[in-house]
Structures are given as C-alpha cells and as structure tokens.
Structure 1
Amino acid sequence: MLELNGYIGFDADDPLKGNLILLTDSLTDGSFLVHHFLSTFLKAGHDVCFLALAQSFSHYNAVAQKLGLNLASLRDSGQLAFINGLEFSLQLMHAGIDSSRAGQPIALQCLVDQAATIQPLYHVIRDASAPKQRDQRNTGSRLLLIDDLSVLISLGLSVQQVMQFVHYCQASQPETTIICLVHHDTDVDDECNAALITQLRHRAHCVLQVQGLDSGYSRDVHGQLKISKRDPTGTTPNRNQPDITLQYKILDKSVTFFAVGTSSAVL
C-alpha cells in the first residue's frame, strides 16, 4: 500500500496537515482505505481520533492485527482515541426510557430536538482529541478518521448538518488531517448521499473513488481506484491535476495497485 501514498503525494512522516481526504466507494467495499490510513498514521507515531460509525472496535482491531497493530494497546496508551459511533442511536433510545439519563449530553440530540444543533457531536470529537496521556503532549500530526459519514445521513441528519459538522472539525483543528469515507452506490437513487459527496468534493484536497469493475467479478482484479487531487482554496496554480486511475487486488495483509490493464492475469 506504500505505492498508494506516492500516488496521492502523501508522506507518513510528514502527512498532509490540514487537508481533507474524501474516500468514496460504489458497488464495492472501500474500507481497505480506512484500514490503510489508520495503520499508516499509527505506525508513524501520529495521534489518531477515529469516529467509527460503521463497525465495532473488535472489527477494526481484528483487521489491524493482520497489519501488525494492536489497537487496544494503542488506545490504552492514548495514541488512538476511538469513538464508538454505534452507541449514538442507543443514547437516544435510553434518553427516552431511562429518566436517570436526563440532562446527559447526547451526540445526536438534534435528531429529537429541532432546537438542538450538531455541536454536541463535534464536542465528542473535541473531547476525545484532547491529550489525556502520553505526557499530555501532541505529536504535531493528528488524524481525524471517520467511517463512514453516510451513516449520519441514514440516521436522519441532513446534508447541511453533516457539512456543518465537517466544518466545525476543519475550523477548530486546522492542522489536523481529516479523512472520511462516504458510501454511495451509483445504482441506488439516494439524493442525500449524492449531495453530501458533491459538497465534500468541493472541500476536499484529494478524492479517492473506489469502484467495482464494469465487467463484474474478477479473481485477479477486485476493483478500480480513481484519484483526484485539487486545491479547494484556489491558491495553487494549476491546482486541479489530471486524475489517476488504478486497478487493485486485495490480498490477506495488503493491497496491490497497478495501471489499468496490467494485471498479472492479463500480461
């Protein structure tokens, strides 16, 4: 997977601070990119705040162990701040049933209270990102990883609310690299997810689009990756570079990338 970093101009020792990297997948699973960036930052010694909305901690830890990482120990050391987003909907349910929870902060309070904002969700990120251990220090490079933002749309948030959340994260942590996955199958008519991806693309410095093959399943080529790099601030000359399209094959502990049509099965 190291060659992927080269294609997007990413160096683990000097990550793209302040950049927003958007990951999208359609008709295939792009979560391997989430695991790639998670392991890359952690192995380089950077702090990571991981908002997991799609899977449990045990799932991510099982995959990380194949990549040589123990997320439990990294969480205990303070290098990894793991936020279990699967609990957000349970918070809403318990708040309506258990009166003893009245007054406790709820991350997605805006789903049941029209007067509430998306700020409580951002506060969860802010509090988790605050240095707690490791001698109360910051390594200088930090990743906010979100898997995946489309879950918030499924729970009932509007595109505007999700974008406000992303804006809060960018504005309050300008030196933090933000990487988020949004799942959107192109064969499904989902206007909200499509609108979310469109707006995120305008804010993103790099977009990685994972797509299934038009020809269907292949044993030797599992999908296609399109890399689009741009400057959303408009301050860089020739800021929109030509897109790069690669194909990939997922192995047990890694992913190999190659130019379109150069698979070992073809050559």
Structure 2
Amino acid sequence: MADVTPRNLLDEALDGKGAAVSSTSPRGGRMILVEDCVETGGAFVLHHLLKRSLSPSSSDVVVFLSFAHPFSHYDRILRKMGCNLSVQRENKRLLFFDMLTVDHLDRDRRKTSEDILISLYGEVQKAVEASLSHEDKRHITVIIDDVSLMEVDANGSSNLVLDFLHYCYSLTAQFGCSLITLNHNDVYSATDRPTLLLQMEYLADVVIKVEPLGTGLATDVHGQLTVTNKGLQDDFGKTRNVVKNYHFRIKDSSVEYFYPGSKT
C-alpha cells in the first residue's frame, strides 16, 4: 500500500522517498542524527519522524527511549498531528520506555549507570527481536530523546553513552533497524568537539541540524534546517553527500518547510 502521508521538503531531503525511516529503504537500516540548540529546538523533527514511522500504511514498530518527557507529552503533541500514540501503544506498534520513572529497570542505589544502560539495551534488543518474529517482517525504528539527557543519567559518562549508542547502532546492521537520535549541539559549545558528538556525526547516514536564522529573528520564519544525506550515488555511480537547506515555520499542528528567500 502506498504511503498516504503528505509529502514535504523534509521527506524529500531524506532521499526522496522518506526511506530513512521506512522499511522500503534499499540500504536497510539507517541512522538519523537530529542536532539542535537552545535558541531553536529540534523536537518537531523528531515528532515528524515518529509520525512517519507509525504511518497507517505500514506495520512498522517504534521502540522509543525517552529521557526527556513522559508519554503524555508526546501523546498530546502527536494527537494534534493526527496520530494517536495511545492506540499505537495498545497495538504494540509503539514500545515506550519512560526513563523518567524512578523504578524503571529496577533503578535503585545498588544499580550503577552502567548496569542500568546494559539492562536497557537488553530490553531494547528483546523488543526488537520480538517485533521481528512476526510473519509480516516488520521494520523497527529505535528513537532516543535525547542523548544529552542520557549522558546526565549516566552521571556525565560520555563513554557509557557512546557504548550504548554503538550497541543500538549494531541493530541497524544486524536486524535492518533504523536509529534516530536527538542531541543538543550547544551543550558542547564551551569545549572542543568531544568524541561523543564526533562519533554520532560519523555514524549517522543523515544529519539534520536545526538552527536559528543567521540574520536574526523573523516573524514568518522560525529557523533553518540543514539536511546532510551521506553516501548517495549520483547518475555516474559516484558517492557523495547531498546537502539541502530549508527554512521552516512551526504551526499549531504542523511545520511548513520552504526554500530560503521564497517567503517575504
């Protein structure tokens, strides 16, 4: 069945078919990194990708790890976008891990940060394997919101977070899963670019940077989006990175994307 989700420039930038979060991708599982900053948050990109992954035209499953907000937060936002997360969770298409709850994964004083992340990955892997056991060969998308808060949860250990991300990344090769992560780029602005951020950018097939306008505030433009799609082949068989730049405006229940200079 064809995807009935309305197309927009962001979908087209994700290689023309939105295949970065779709089981139809010829490249199998992919990793998307969303980077934002305090002035311009990128949560709306994550919400868009979540909605696409739960499109009614597919049976895809999302494993969502939330270090940022409770389930009710995402449910309220996605309802405005026409996607009922409560129903998706009941139908087992959304497996939601609320890392804000104190008792999740037996979190107590005897558990170290490493123990918790190892236990969490074990549950993620079990969820992926259980979802793939269905005869319809479901595609799995793992979403992490957000990496910087995971690092806080790990008592500031970027090495533990990087290990966890590498384990999740291995699922893209082992099971063809997709991995989507959100991170705050300006968290590291006071230091040299750390290994964690560099490694995430290296691993990602698609890097989406959400930034304020270089010219300052504008009434009808809320920020700019740079989408770097790595390793695409051109008509001559050469591999290159494709970079697309857009402006965006956030509305109540949607986001409008347009080319720079097309809005006056």
- Specify the TM-score bucket, using the shorter chain as the normaliser: 0.7 to 0.9
| TM superposition outliers: structure 1 runs of 4+ over 6 Å | none
Query: Partners of 2:33 and 2:52 in 1: how far apart?
Result: 16
Matching residue of 1:213 = 213
Letter paired with 1:95: D
Change (3 A) 1:161 1:251: same
Query: Partners of 1:227 and 1:60 in 2: how far apart?
Result: 24
User: Alpha-carbon deviation of 1:195?
Assistant: 3.6
Does structure 1 conserve the Cα–Cα contact (< 8 Å) formed by 2:248 and 2:255? yes
Matching residue of 1:8 = 14
Does structure 2 conserve the Cα–Cα contact (< 8 Å) formed by 1:131 and 1:138? no
Aligned pairs for 1:137-216 (under 5 A) are 137=135, 139-155=137-153, 156-174=155-173, 175-185=176-186, 188-189=189-190, 194-216=194-216
Which structure has the larger Rg over C-alpha atoms? 1
Change (3 A) 1:94 1:146: closer
RMSD: 2.9
Does structure 2 conserve the Cα–Cα contact (< 8 Å) formed by 1:49 and 1:125? yes
SS at match of 2:210: strand
Change (3 A) 1:148 1:35: same
Does structure 2 conserve the Cα–Cα contact (< 8 Å) formed by 1:83 and 1:128? no
1:24 corresponds to 2:24 = no
TM-score by length of 2: 0.81
User: Alpha-carbon deviation of 1:118?
Assistant: 4.2
Aligned pairs for 1:29-178 (under 5 A) are 29-43=41-55, 44-45=57-58, 46-87=60-101, 95-96=108-109, 109-110=112-113, 118-131=117-130, 136-137=134-135, 139-155=137-153, 156-174=155-173, 175-178=176-179
Q: Give me the identity figure in percent.
A: 27
User: Alpha-carbon deviation of 1:200?
Assistant: 0.6
Query: Partners of 2:253 and 2:148 in 1: how far apart?
Result: 27
Query: Partners of 1:242 and 1:171 in 2: how far apart?
Result: 24
Letter paired with 2:93: Q
Alignment gaps of 5+ in structure 2: 1-5
TM-score by length of 1: 0.80
User: Alpha-carbon deviation of 1:18?
Assistant: 1.5
SS at match of 1:185: helix
Change (3 A) 1:137 1:149: farther
Alignment gaps of 5+ in structure 1: 97-101
SS at match of 1:163: helix
Does structure 2 conserve the Cα–Cα contact (< 8 Å) formed by 1:122 and 1:169? yes
1:225 corresponds to 2:231 = no
Q: Which moved more, 1:181-190 or 1:246-255?
A: 181-190
User: Alpha-carbon deviation of 1:177?
Assistant: 0.7
User: Alpha-carbon deviation of 1:141?
Assistant: 1.2
Q: Deviations over 1:4-24 (max 9, x none)?
A: 111121234624632111110
Query: Partners of 1:140 and 1:93 in 2: how far apart?
Result: 29
User: Alpha-carbon deviation of 1:185?
Assistant: 2.0
Query: Partners of 1:13 and 1:67 in 2: how far apart?
Result: 22
SS at match of 1:252: coil
User: Alpha-carbon deviation of 1:255?
Assistant: 1.1
